[in-house]
Structure 1
Amino acid sequence: MKLDIKEIMTRLPHRYPMLLIDRVLEMEPGKRIVAIKNVSMNEPFFEGHFPHHPVMPGVLIIEAMAQAAALFSFEGDSTVNPADRKIAYYLVGVDGARFRKPVVPGDQLRLEVSADRLSRTMCKYSACATVDGQEVAAAKLMCAIRALED
């Protein structure tokens, strides 16, 4: 299954400047996803990180992987939608994060995330980000699903 930006926006609550997924290339609901983030010099974080040598912050690479995870984890489950204003999908844990190479303007970040465990309240994932086939970041992620009060 592939998704364009319009379809992504119906599934995630994030918007500019925090929407970090541009396209989904592959998705197996409840199992895995391959998504793309096109990194442009126009990203607001490059203004301060760093003006003389722009580098995408590692925490935003982790956030992009978590957003990708949210897209495939509940696809096909009509009771849970990360874009629904009645639930919140929080990144609550990052283990073993490694950043191997800087991500710079012009790079295309390929995000590959697979589910280790999915439940109604807690999910665990293995995630990897690559640029031109080279790993730039990897981590184990944990996300929590919480009901929001009206």
Structure 2
Amino acid sequence: MADSAETKVLGTLDIQRIMEMIPHRYPMLLVDKIIDIIPGESCTGIKNVTINEPFFPGHFPTKPVMPGVMIIESMAQTSAVLVMHTLGDVAEGKLVYFMTIEEARFRRPIGPGDQIHIKVQKVQNRRNVWKFRGEAVVDGQVCAEATYAAMIVMDS
């Protein structure tokens, strides 16, 4: 069976391609690479956490921990790449706004030296509103998870 656009799993998207797809930039760009993507369905992003992250000096100086909201934001950005890739050129660079965050759970701290595998799965899509389930996984352990919805602003 030949691969269709809807079922093809891509190898990777690098940081340059990610920046073409979503408008986030340092210090708020929280996904470094996409290692697989199934358009309209799921995707896995990578975030390499370093001591140079701008939030570590204040969170916390003696025990750096990635803030939970930043972990959720990394899930949302990974989801945004999935949406942009699914919708194509017409959507690239458009803004995506959170609408809801539900069932967020934080199970283990994430800190410098960790590599987060951000696994996102589309739950639902109606027009410009997308709902996802995300997990942040480090060394095979789920560190955080959430269900969230976002709206893509097509007139931005």
TM-score by length of 1: 0.92
Q: What is the rounded CA distance, in whole Å, between the counterparts of 1:73 and 1:28 in structure 2?
A: 10
| Residue identity in the other structure for 2:36 | E
1:145 Cα deviation (Å)?
Answer: 1.9
Give the aligned partner of residue 45 of structure 1: 55
CA contact (8 A) 1:110 1:131 kept: yes
Is the CA contact 1:122–1:144 (under 8 Å) kept in the aligned structure 2? yes
Q: Tell me the equivalent position of 2:109.
A: 102
Partner of residue 133, structure 1: 140
Check conservation: 2:22, 2:84, Cα contact below 8 A.
Answer: no
Which residue in the other structure is 2:66 paired with?
Answer: 56
Contact kept in structure 1, 2:100 and 2:149, CA below 8 Å: yes
1:114 equivalent in structure 2: 121
Secondary structure of 2:45 counterpart? strand
- Runs (4 or more) in structure 1 with deviation over 6 Å come to none
In the alignment, structure 1 segments of 5+ residues that lack a partner are: none
Is the CA contact 2:133–2:146 (under 8 Å) kept in the aligned structure 1? yes
Aligned CA RMSD, in angstroms, stands at 1.4
Q: Secondary structure at the match of 1:65?
A: helix
The amino acid that maps onto 1:55 is V
Partner of residue 143 from structure 1, selected from 143, 150, 156: 150
Which runs of 5 or more structure 2 residues have no equivalent in the other structure? Answer: 1-9
Separation in 1 of the partners of 2:154 and 2:42? 24
Contact between 2:133 and 2:148, CA under 8 Å: does it hold in 1? yes
Which segment drifts farther, 7-16 or 138-147? 138-147
**TM-score, normalising length from structure 2?**
0.89
Q: CA deviation at 1:22?
A: 0.4
- Counterpart Cα distance in 2 of 1:73 and 1:138: 19
Q: What is the SS of the residue equivalent to 2:31?
A: coil
The number of equivalent residue pairs is: 146
Amino acid at match of 1:118: N
Counterpart residue type for residue 130 of structure 2: C
Q: 3-state SS of the aligned residue for 1:75? A: helix
Q: 2:30 aligns with which of 12, 20, 25?
A: 20
- Alpha-carbon offset, residue 121 of structure 1: 2.0
Q: Aligned runs of 1:68-83 on 2, under 5 Å? A: 68-78=78-88, 80-83=90-93
